[in-house]
Chain A
Amino acid sequence: SQQGEEDPQALSIQEGENATMNCSYKTSINNLQWYRQNSGRGLVHLILIRSNEREKHSGRLRVTLDTSKKSSSLLITASRAADTASYFCATDAKRETSGSRLTFGEGTQLTVNP
Chain B
Amino acid sequence: DSGVTQTPKHLITATGQRVTLRCSPRSGDLSVYWYQQSLDQGLQFLIQYYNGEERAKGNILERFSAQQFPDLHSELNLSSLELGDSALYFCASSVTGGITDTQYFGPGTRLTVL
Which residues of A line the B interface, CB within 8 A?
Answer: 2, 30-31, 33, 35, 40-45, 48, 50, 88, 90, 92, 97-107
Give the B interface residue count (CB, 8 A). 30
Chain B residues positioned under 8 Å from A107 (CB to CB): 42
Q: Is the CB of A101 within 8 A of B48?
A: yes
Which residues of B line the A interface, CB within 8 A?
Answer: 2, 31, 33, 35, 42-45, 48, 50, 55-56, 58, 88, 90, 92, 94, 97-108, 110
In the bound assembly, the distance between CA atoms of A2 and B38 in angstroms comes to: 13
Interface of B is mostly: strand
**Smallest Cβ distance from B42 to chain A, in angstroms?**
6
List 18 A-B residue pairs with CB atoms under 8 Å apart, sorted by A's residue number.
A31-B99, A33-B102, A40-B88, A41-B108, A42-B105, A43-B92, A44-B105, A88-B43, A92-B99, A98-B55, A99-B55, A99-B56, A100-B31, A100-B97, A100-B98, A102-B35, A102-B103, A105-B42
Option from B44, B105, B106, B107 in Cβ contact (under 8 Å) with A35: B105
Q: Is the CB of B56 within 8 A of A101?
A: yes
Q: Is the CB of B42 within 8 A of A106?
A: yes
Closest to A42 in B: B107
Option from A45, A90, A100, A104 in Cβ contact (under 8 Å) with B56: A100
In the bound assembly, the distance between CA atoms of A73 and B75 in angstroms comes to: 35
**Smallest Cβ distance from A6 to chain B, in angstroms?**
11
Q: Is the CB of A98 within 8 A of B43?
A: no
**Smallest Cβ distance from B50 to chain A, in angstroms?**
8
Chain B residues positioned under 8 Å from A41 (CB to CB): 107-108
